[in-house]
């Protein structure tokens, strides 16, 4: 679980990111990123019913995405708001595939500190 300060919760924050963020599409998800002036990273996850009708599967996907972000969080440039939107088909993938795709998407978005 991510700490509270690193979570996007408010609807207005999500709306702001959806309007002004750059998008990076991957095989399993869409990454939307925008800079913030807070000096810390905040993350939001969207797993719709298009992925699965069952809430247990959607929660499993959300937990996997959260863990993939947590493992890369120390390498992400600070001051960024990120939303990860899961695409259908991600529920059939295992965690190493999701983690590898997350790393590739963050590199594509130039958010990784080398």
Tens digit of each residue's pLDDT (9 = 90 or more) over 59-94: 999 999 999 999 988 899 999 999 999 999 998 999
Query: Is the residue at 114 inside a domain?
Result: no
Query: Is the residue at 113 inside a domain?
Result: no
Write out the residue range of the structural domain in which residue 74 sits: 4-108
Cα 106 from Cα 72, distance rounded (Å): 9
* Average pLDDT across the chain, whole number: 93
Name which residue leads in pLDDT, 15 or 1.
15
| DSSP letters for 13-74 | HHHHHHHH-EEEE-SSEEEEEEE-SSSS-EEEEE--TTT-SSHHHHHHHHHHHHHHHHHHGG
Q: What is the CATH number of the domain that holds 33?
A: 3.30.230.10
Total domains in the chain come to: 1
């Amino acid at each position: 679980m991510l700490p509270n300060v690193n979570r996007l919760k408010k609807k207005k924050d999500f709306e702001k990111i959806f309007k002004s963020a750059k998008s990076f599409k991957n095989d399993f998800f869409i990454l939307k990123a925008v800079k913030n002036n807070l000096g810390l990273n905040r993350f939001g996850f969207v797993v719709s019913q298009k992925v699965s009708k069952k809430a247990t599967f959607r929660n499993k996907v959300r937990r996997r995405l959260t863990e993939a972000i947590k493992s890369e969080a120390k390498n992400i440039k600070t001051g960024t708001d990120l939303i990860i939107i899961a695409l259908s088909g991600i529920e059939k993938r295992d965690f190493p595939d999701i983690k590898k795709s997350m790393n590739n998407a963050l590199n594509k978005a130039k958010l990784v500190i080398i």
